[in-house]
Amino acid sequence: MKTIFSIFFCLLFFACNNVEDKKSEVSASSNEEVPTTTSSKNEADTKNGSLKQNRDYTALFERERDDCTFITAEGIATALNVSANMVETTYSDCNYTLTEANGTKTNFNFSVESWGNKTVVKEIKTAIDNAETFGINSKLSQYRMSETGDTYLSMHQNRMIRILNEKNSHVIIINYSVSASPTETDAAKKSELKDIARERSYTISNYLLNSQQ
């Protein structure tokens, strides 16, 4: 009789422990972090090219083509962290030249074009598609996200940077070119100087966006 009670007690003990273990597993599972609807939506929005706007850029974008009052020689010098006397206005208020000690000149031409919102969004998608096709560092077409996180900086044919914002129908374009020093004949070096000019144009683009409140 004692043997029967002992066996019954053991079975009851193991059954209770098994129930407790299953409860613990269910509790642990329910505490695991589940992606929120908001985070999933943000990821989807980024893939679709839709970005949360962190600033109002109306004052920067909404202007006539030849209205370049958003940039100055002093502003370019500040953006590039160079001496103010290295940058001067050429031809008009939309054209600037950075002259270095060795005689190399980098030219920046600014313009504002009215594309319409649909075209802006289309060009953003094209830039993203091109990056997937040609690679993110292609010199034919590439894009970067702005430091403000809400605007696309699209490079085209290694000669211009286009500042594309989905909420604005106007586009700011920075054309860049380099006049190497008279003694510079190395093609590879000239290509390097062009790459530097491109990076400087990206820097100026971010400077313009960061200056907006």
Domain extents in the chain: 2-32, 55-210
What local confidence, expressed as pLDDT, does residue 9 receive? 46
- Percentage with pLDDT > 70 across the chain: 75
What local confidence, expressed as pLDDT, does residue 13 receive? 46
What local confidence, expressed as pLDDT, does residue 49 receive? 53
What local confidence, expressed as pLDDT, does residue 136 receive? 87
What local confidence, expressed as pLDDT, does residue 181 receive? 67
Q: What are the CA-CA distances from residue 187 to residues 21, 51, 103, 160, 168 (Å)?
A: 72, 39, 17, 20, 39
What local confidence, expressed as pLDDT, does residue 16 receive? 46
What local confidence, expressed as pLDDT, does residue 183 receive? 65
What local confidence, expressed as pLDDT, does residue 182 receive? 64
Lay out the sheet containing 92-99: strands in order across. 87-90, 92-99, 105-114, 170-179, 160-164, 152-156, 141-145
Q: Using CA atoms, how far apart are residues 58 and 112, in angstroms rounded to an integer?
A: 13
What local confidence, expressed as pLDDT, does residue 11 receive? 46
What local confidence, expressed as pLDDT, does residue 24 receive? 45
The residue ranges of the chain whose pLDDT is under 50 are 1-46
Stretch (H or E) spanning 116:
none
* Cβ contact 201:161 at 8 Å: yes
Q: Using CA atoms, how far apart are residues 107 and 204, in angstroms rounded to an integer?
A: 13
